Amino acid sequence: MILIKKNHEIEAMRLAGGVSSTVLHEVASFVRPGLSTLEIDKFGGDRIRYYGGKSAFLGYRDYPCNICISINEEVVHGLASERRVEFGDIVSLDVGVCFDGYIGDNATTVAVGGCKPEVQRLMEVTKQALNDGICQAVAGNKVIDISRSIQRTAEASGYSIVREFVGHGVGKKVHEDPQIPNFDDGGRHSPVLKPGMTLAIEPMVNLGQRQVEMLEDGWTVLTSDGLPSAHFEHTVLVTEGEPEILTCPENLPSEQRES
């Protein structure tokens, strides 16, 4: 069942989105060569708590970290460790924050110092795929309109879409209905979007083949061919008109803003 959020819930989702995106930006700027992913994860957890939030991921199905940090061929759900990020790596950062009972979920991929132009382009196209998907998140469209738009953008540039992991509704829980595939899954029973739905749209795009594998840790997802993967995500509100991105820094609660 897809929940339609009431006005007071939407206001709460904006605040959660504001904290979640502010922390994501802070973590992205914090990343530099030589930091271990444990240090990056600790920084993320500290910033979430600084704003009065709680990690929406820590403890979810026993996930052991504050945020998800995935390097190069790691697609999503990387686990923090002693591993240090190096110049030329790309790092996907996924931050979910619970604030006052509601969750904002967002992700970005950044280069550590810099990266090869072909990998830079992978990141740009993945971000564009997310934006193209968001543009379809309007009342009257179906979930599959989002999926097709994302897939078209990624594949037009010669990249492939991960199929095993999908976007999702989000609210009081990290994962609510509907599932939002990033590819055309045939679209039978694809739900119609209605105002008040809040969706986490999150394409995972691979430079090479689409196939992925799970590491023995039970969390880290890797590309099977070892080539890099990028991941971008926003939490979005469906309205009668333009979709509203809830995970934006402007939504940070005013009492938390530094003047």
Measure the CA–CA gap between 56 and 36, rounded to whole angstroms: 22
| Integer angstrom CA distances of residue 191 from 3, 19, 132, 194, 215 | 12, 29, 19, 9, 33
Residue number with CB closer to ligand MF3 (96 or 178): 96
CA dihedral 138, 144, 146, 151 (to 10 degrees): -160
Measure the CA–CA gap between 221 and 21, rounded to whole angstroms: 23
Measure the CA–CA gap between 203 and 129, rounded to whole angstroms: 7
Chosen residue from 103, 125, 174, 212 binding ligand MF3 by CB under 6 A = 174
Chosen residue from 197, 200, 212, 252 binding Co ion by CB under 5 A = 200
Measure the CA–CA gap between 190 and 204, rounded to whole angstroms: 20
Q: Which of positions 20-39 make contact with ligand MF3 (CB under 6 A)?
A: none
Residue 60 touching ligand MF3 (CB under 6 A)? yes
Chosen residue from 89, 105, 145, 244 binding ligand MF3 by CB under 6 A = 105
Measure the CA–CA gap between 170 and 241, rounded to whole angstroms: 20
Cis preceding linkage at 191, omega within 30: no
Q: Residue 68 binds which entry of Co ion, ligand MF3, none, with Cβ cut-offs from 5 to 8 Å by kind?
A: ligand MF3
With contacts defined by CB under 6 A, how many residues of the chain interact with ligand MF3?
14
Residue 234 touching ligand MF3 (CB under 6 A)? no
Shortest separation between residue 168's beta carbon and Co ion, angstroms: 6
Q: Residue 47 binds which entry of Co ion, ligand MF3, none, with Cβ cut-offs from 5 to 8 Å by kind?
A: none
Residue number with CB closer to ligand MF3 (12 or 174): 174
Residue number with CB closer to ligand MF3 (50 or 60): 60
CB of 77 closer than 8 Å to CB of 58: no
Residue number with CB closer to Co ion (76 or 112): 76
User: Where do contacts with ligand MF3 occur on this chain (CB under 6 A)?
Assistant: 57, 60-61, 63, 68, 77, 94, 96, 105, 168, 174, 200, 202, 233
